[in-house]
Amino acid sequence: MTTNKKRVIRLALLGFEPGSVVISDILQSFLHLGVNLVAEVVPGNAENPFVWLDSEDKFDGLLLPLAQGLENLPADIEWFVPRQRQGEALLPARDNMPALFFKKDHQPLLVLRSFFVSSVAFVGGGPGDPGLCTVAGQEALRHCEVCLYDALVADSLLAEIPATAKAVYVGKRCGHHSCDQPNICQWLADYARQGLRVVRLKGGDPGIFGRLAEEVETFDRYSLPYRVVAGVSSLLAATTGTGMFLTRRHISRGFTVLTPRHAQGGKEPDPVYGPYLKRPPRPVVFFMAMARIGELVENLKKRGRLATESAAVVWGASTPLEKVVRGTLENIEDLIKNHDRELPGLFMVGETTQFALVKKWSALLDERILLLCQPYLRSDLEAEILAYGGRPVAAPPILKLEGVEVTKPNFDTVLITDEKIAANFISCWGAFDQDSTIQGQDGRAMIHKLAQERVSERVEIGNGF
């Protein structure tokens, strides 16, 4: 038998009095998350304020003004501004606002931070035509507080950014960079740690030659939450949009996408480029292949692909029903044998199938939340769910259209702000499990409370640290 004990976190206060309103609010918010706090005022140390994190007193965190801390920030220290998103917009940031600094390996404070930071959205803005930016991308822009945007982004798309938000141009054109990639990555992480809703707006699709991996890996390294909104690639605009289709029956059955440019911008032939043309070790993606996985695996191995090569199957990509199964050519068929082969999906082969987005540093951990509310509220509530790292699920139409097969949405929690809409849904799809139902008038407050409860649960059981 084990006994759960509430964790005690010791905070050193430098430059603040415990009785000040802002500090009291911060300490109170931590108490609401299930943490017992001991806060103690410590004398200032201009040369090294972080000495208190290495002292014999064993302080877990240090509260001091943001600017003062960033000026002296050691490599092994993480931070965030513990202010909540509920209420007024968070801009502008103030240099004297309290920030909490702690050791990077302090798992409880990393978990607690998930409640105070928003999931940064990496958005593909399309190849230039604003109409080719997805609805999800535009929604992210409409709710952002900071946007870092690239060159070749349509002006009318930038008009979606709120007037109160901060827009930062970080474009790159033919080797001429307004700022370098390490700075972009650092700015993204710094804005996120201030609790701001951040959008990184990229041209085309950010996963195709958009250096998205470097920016995402920065967030993995800092244990910060993020989400990726795929975009329409310029590859598609230049081929499908002009009639030069990449695939055509009896003519073209597939393709490889490459860049002849060096990572360092050199002009000499890239030694990696040649092998792709001779015997391409490229990832292969198969559409409509679920019924022929076994046959495809055998054909790939006969043509030189190793049985140990990584492979994956993806169903329902980007939907609440999304399912990914990873394995190798040797075992992928066995791994998916209990899945419905008739469902549409993609079969992928190549080393890149080993990688995945890291989602464990958000408050809601990708929890699927069904929204039953008035349509005019949906946009704001979806933005709130996404900011906490959840996944909003749209309710299917109550009136079934002839010839259109609608399935019940897949969700973990249902949030109800409109009883009539909920009653119509129940009459069509059946009652909800009461344990997964949240009902009330203020949707934002309900989402805020749910995120608080999820973080508190993880703090209580020590999940993730």
The CATH number assigned to the domain holding 65 equals 3.40.190.10
On whether residue 254 sits in a domain, the answer given is no
Phi/psi region, residue 211 (left: phi>0; alpha: psi -120 to 50; beta: rest), is: left
In eight-state DSSP terms, residue 255 is -
Which of 132, 343, 388 is closest to 415 using CA atoms? 388
- Please give the model's pTM, rounded to 2 decimal places: 0.86
- pLDDT tens track for 24-41: 888 888 988 988 888 999
Residues 26, 83, single domain; the answer is yes
Q: How far apart are CA 52 and CA 14, in angstroms?
A: 10
Residues 218, 139, single domain; the answer is yes
Residues 127, 90, single domain; the answer is no
Residues 394, 436, single domain; the answer is yes
Residues 143, 214, single domain; the answer is yes
Structural contact between residues 395 and 377, judged by C-beta atoms closer than 8 angstroms = no
Residue 48 has pLDDT above 60, yes or no: yes
On whether residue 149 sits in a domain, the answer given is yes
Which tokens in the block code for residue 240? 């499908």
Residues 21, 83, single domain; the answer is yes
In DSSP terms, 98 is beta-bridged to 65
On whether residue 447 sits in a domain, the answer given is yes
Structural contact between residues 372 and 416, judged by C-beta atoms closer than 8 angstroms = yes
Residues 107, 180, single domain; the answer is no
The CATH number assigned to the domain holding 384 equals 3.40.50
- pLDDT tens track for 164-177: 899 999 986 545 45
Using the CB atoms, write b or e for 71-89: b if 16+ within 10 Å: eeeeeebbbbbbbbbeeee
The CATH number assigned to the domain holding 320 equals 3.30.950.10
On whether residue 412 sits in a domain, the answer given is yes
Position 300 confidence tier, pLDDT thresholds 50, 70, 90: confident
Q: How far apart are CA 83 and CA 91, in angstroms?
A: 12
For residue 19, give its domain range.
8-113
Q: How far apart are CA 224 and CA 358, in angstroms?
A: 9
Which tokens in the block code for residue 369? 């939340």
Q: How far apart are CA 3 and CA 1, in angstroms?
A: 7
Which tokens in the block code for residue 135? 């609805």
Residues 134, 71, single domain; the answer is no
Residues 76, 124, single domain; the answer is no
HSE at residue 422, side-chain half, CA atoms within 13 A, is 17
Q: How far apart are CA 426 and CA 405, in angstroms?
A: 18
Which tokens in the block code for residue 365? 């951990």
- pLDDT tens track for 308-348: 999 999 988 888 888 899 999 999 999 998 887 666 788 99
Q: How far apart are CA 422 and CA 429, in angstroms?
A: 10
- Tell me what percent of the chain is helix, strand and coil, each rounded to the nearest 5: 30, 20, 50
Residues 125, 217, single domain; the answer is yes
On whether residue 167 sits in a domain, the answer given is yes
Which phi and psi (to 5°) does residue 284 adopt? -120, 135
Residues 82, 161, single domain; the answer is no
- pLDDT tens track for 371-421: 999 989 999 999 999 999 999 988 776 655 455 556 778 899 999 999 999
On whether residue 253 sits in a domain, the answer given is no
Cβ-based neighbour number of residue 271 at 10 Å: 8
354, 382, 416 - which closes a domain: 354
Residues 321, 388, single domain; the answer is no
On whether residue 249 sits in a domain, the answer given is no
Structural contact between residues 432 and 411, judged by C-beta atoms closer than 8 angstroms = no
94, 113, 132 - which closes a domain: 113
113, 146, 175 - which closes a domain: 113
181-185 mean pLDDT: 93
On whether residue 51 sits in a domain, the answer given is yes
Cβ-based neighbour number of residue 413 at 10 Å: 22
Q: How many domains does the chain have?
A: 4
Residue 7 has pLDDT above 80, yes or no: no
